[in-house]
């Protein structure tokens, strides 16, 4: 007797859309061209085109190996020494810090911080909606939607001028209903590289306060735009505004610890008592997601931030990464200016952090890939940290040709 295989219960499931950024890397990996270049990444590369292993990390790891410890569970909120070091790093000097109103929990990278924050907010503010910049890091909308929120965009970028559209941003913020959540990039905006200046931040803070919105600051690139203190100013300003503030932060980039998934969620609250209640609820969110975080990345960062010598070394290495990017911005601008003297490339040095929005159109991005083996995002975002002294001329010539 013929038996037929029963139809799979999962037969109706279709393929998920490809991640746009990882898709670029896949296409790049498939290419066999010896001179291929990937500008689509979100990672810092050194001048040899390698992801660095920082000396401070190497030293901290050597020390950890010399003093091995059992791999028992960390507390739900993570390693205390790590959380204290991150809290100090972000909030030292604020009233909120002195008054012990800030809680910090270790998370699986910045993504984990956003997800824990989003799940927590959805539990207590299910009717709130979320507002992110247009454009923003691709995962922002997906993460908050996955947590159950409706996600809207506020204007941020003016493509015609390759600059901020601040008046439109303010006009939209003025319309957002009280209690909604506004996601802001604390520095080095991804993908545009364009940040607000001091007075613009002041205006945004004033509207958020007046309209009783919930700010969620995402800081994935502290130290890549300016010094740690300069890039950290926005978080400090919001912390001392009297508002409840959510902050996601990560050491993926600044410690070059991508695979260790080491980030943090901090919340500035109204009182130590409120902070304790928030902490207990956030721990429940973590417990039902992944129970407790992994240990190695936290041990490294805690060791570096807890040692005067290693911390100084880290700051020095971070400054070298920042200065290399700034140098590449200047040189790319100068090269492009030589190729196309009538065009304005000042945006390259006005923008900060790993990324530049170049204004390239999708068909120009396709030409870059097909004619020059230079892979980047269809939006025209390039990772300036993937430019180095070996590929600078090739990239400048190709960009000028397609422009
Ligand atoms: C703006 C922004 N937020 C958060 C993240 C997530 O960082 P992590 O890799 O630590 O999860 C990134 C990573 O690219 C980012 O660009």
Cα(106) to ligand 1 centroid in Å equals 15
Is any atom of ligand 1 closer than 6 Å to the C-beta of 263? yes
Quick one: which atom of ligand 1 is closest to the CA of 112?
A: 11
Please return the burial class of 341, using the count of CB atoms within 10 Å of its CB with bins 0-12, 13-18 and 19+: exposed
Cα(107) to ligand 1 centroid in Å equals 12
Cα(117) to ligand 1 centroid in Å equals 14
Is any atom of ligand 1 closer than 6 Å to the C-beta of 110? yes
Ligand 1 probe mutation, 43, 109, 247, 255, most atoms within 8 A of CB: 109
Residue closest by Cα to atom 15 of ligand 1: 220
For residue 64, what are the CA distances in angstroms to 5, 260, 350, 357? 54, 15, 41, 41
Question: 120 in helix, strand or coil?
Answer: helix
CA angle 152, 154, 157 (to 5 degrees): 135
Q: Which of 83, 91, 106, 56 is nearest to 311 (CA)?
A: 56
What letter would DSSP give residue 72?
P
pLDDT (tens digit per residue) in 192-238: 999 999 999 999 999 999 999 999 999 999 999 999 999 999 999 99
pLDDT (tens digit per residue) in 249-278: 999 999 999 999 999 999 999 999 999 999
Cα(110) to ligand 1 centroid in Å equals 5
pLDDT (tens digit per residue) in 65-105: 999 999 999 999 999 999 999 999 999 999 999 999 999 99
Distance (Å, whole) CA 256 – CA 43: 8
Question: 340 in helix, strand or coil?
Answer: coil
Name 153's bridge partners. Answer: 132
Is the pLDDT at 354 greater than 70? The verdict is yes
The angle, 0 to 180 degrees and rounded to 10, between the axes of the packed helices 308-339 and 296-305 is 100
Strand 130-134 and strand 102-108: pairing? unpaired
Mean pLDDT, to the nearest integer, of 150-161? 96
Q: In sequence order, which residues have a C-beta less than 8 Å from that of residue 121 and are 6 or more positions away?
A: 128, 147, 149, 181, 214, 216, 246
- Other C-beta atoms lying within 10 Å of the C-beta of residue 291: 10
Question: 117 in helix, strand or coil?
Answer: helix
Catalytic residues: 137, 218, 253
Is any atom of ligand 1 closer than 6 Å to the C-beta of 137? yes
Is any atom of ligand 1 closer than 6 Å to the C-beta of 117? no
Residue closest by Cα to atom 4 of ligand 1: 110
- Tokens 């506020």 belong to 154
Is any atom of ligand 1 closer than 6 Å to the C-beta of 40? no
Residue closest by Cα to atom 12 of ligand 1: 220
Distance (Å, whole) CA 105 – CA 282: 8
Distance (Å, whole) CA 138 – CA 20: 8
pLDDT band at 23 (very low <50, low <70, confident <90, very high): confident
Is any atom of ligand 1 closer than 6 Å to the C-beta of 218? yes
Question: 196 in helix, strand or coil?
Answer: coil
Mean pLDDT, to the nearest integer, of 244-249? 98
With respect to CATH, is domain 20-54+311-402 assigned 3.90.1150.10?
A: yes
Quick one: which atom of ligand 1 is closest to the CA of 190?
A: 1
At residue 7, the pLDDT reads: 85
Ligand 1 probe mutation, 187, 220, 353, 386, most atoms within 8 A of CB: 220
Q: Check: CB of residue 234 under 8 Å from CB of residue 205.
A: no
Alpha-carbon radius of gyration of the chain: 22
- CATH class for domain 73-306? alpha beta
Q: Which of 248, 249, 217 is nearest to 234 (CA)?
A: 217
Ligand 1 probe mutation, 43, 190, 261, most atoms within 8 A of CB: 190
Name the strand (E) or helix (H) holding 26.
Answer: helix 20-30
Q: Which of 28, 58, 6 is nearest to 374 (CA)?
A: 28
Q: Check: CB of residue 219 under 8 Å from CB of residue 77.
A: no
Ligand 1 probe mutation, 44, 108, 110, 221, most atoms within 8 A of CB: 110
Distance (Å, whole) CA 77 – CA 105: 5
Measured in degrees and rounded to the nearest 5, phi and psi for residue 84 equal -65, -40
Count of residues making up the chain? 403
pLDDT band at 398 (very low <50, low <70, confident <90, very high): very high
pTM for the whole structure: 0.96
Q: Which residue has the higher pLDDT, 34 or 4?
A: 34
Is the pLDDT at 281 greater than 90? The verdict is yes
pLDDT over 70, % of the chain: 99
- Other C-beta atoms lying within 10 Å of the C-beta of residue 330: 12
Q: Where are the domains of the chain?
A: 20-54+311-402, 73-306
Quick one: which atom of ligand 1 is closest to the CA of 113?
A: 11
pLDDT over 90, % of the chain: 92
At residue 21, the pLDDT reads: 75
Is any atom of ligand 1 closer than 6 Å to the C-beta of 111? yes
């Amino acid at each position: 007797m013929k038996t037929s295989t029963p139809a799979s219960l999962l037969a109706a499931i279709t393929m998920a859309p490809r991640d746009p950024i990882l898709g670029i890397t896949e296409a790049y990996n498939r290419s066999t061209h010896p001179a291929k270049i990937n500008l689509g990444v979100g990672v810092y590369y050194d001048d040899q085109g390698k992801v660095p292993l920082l000396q401070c990390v190497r030293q901290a790891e050597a020390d950890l190996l010399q003093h091995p410890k059992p791999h028992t569970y960390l507390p739900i909120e993570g390693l205390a020494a790590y959380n204290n070091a991150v809290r100090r790093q972000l909030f030292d000097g604020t009233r909120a810090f002195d008054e012990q109103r800030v809680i910090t929990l270790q998370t699986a990278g910045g993504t984990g911080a956003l997800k824990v924050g989003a799940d927590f907010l959805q539990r207590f503010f299910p009717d709130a909606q979320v507002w992110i910049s247009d454009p923003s890091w691709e995962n922002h909308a997906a993460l908050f939607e996955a947590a159950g929120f409706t996600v809207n965009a506020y204007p941020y970028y003016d493509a015609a001028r390759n600059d901020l559209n601040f008046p439109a941003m303010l006009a939209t913020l003025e319309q957002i209903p009280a209690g909604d959540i506004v996601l802001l990039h604390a520095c080095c905006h991804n993908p545009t590289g364009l940040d607000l200046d001091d007075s613009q931040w002041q205006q945004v803070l004033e509207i958020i306060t007046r309209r009783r919105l919930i700010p969620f600051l995402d800081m994935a690139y502290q130290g890549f735009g300016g010094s740690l203190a300069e890039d950290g100013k926005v978080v400090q300003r919001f912390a001392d505004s009297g508002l409840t503030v959510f902050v996601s932060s990560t050491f993926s980039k600044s410690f070059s610890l991508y695979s260790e998934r080491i980030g943090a969620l901090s919340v500035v609250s109204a009182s130590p008592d409120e902070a304790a209640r928030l902490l207990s609820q956030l721990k429940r969110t973590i417990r039902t997601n992944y129970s407790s975080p992994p240990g190695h990345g936290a041990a490294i960062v805690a060791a570096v931030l807890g040692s005067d010598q290693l911390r100084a070394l880290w700051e020095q290495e971070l400054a070298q990464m920042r200065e290399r990017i700034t140098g590449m911005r200047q040189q790319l601008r100068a090269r492009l200016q030589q190729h196309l003297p009538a065009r304005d490339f000042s945006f390259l040095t006005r923008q900060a952090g790993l990324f530049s929005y170049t204004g390239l159109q999708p068909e120009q991005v396709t030409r870059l890939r097909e004619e020059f083996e230079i892979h980047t995002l269809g939006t025209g975002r390039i990772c300036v940290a993937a430019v180095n002294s070996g590929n600078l001329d090739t990239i400048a010539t190709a960009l000028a040709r397609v422009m």
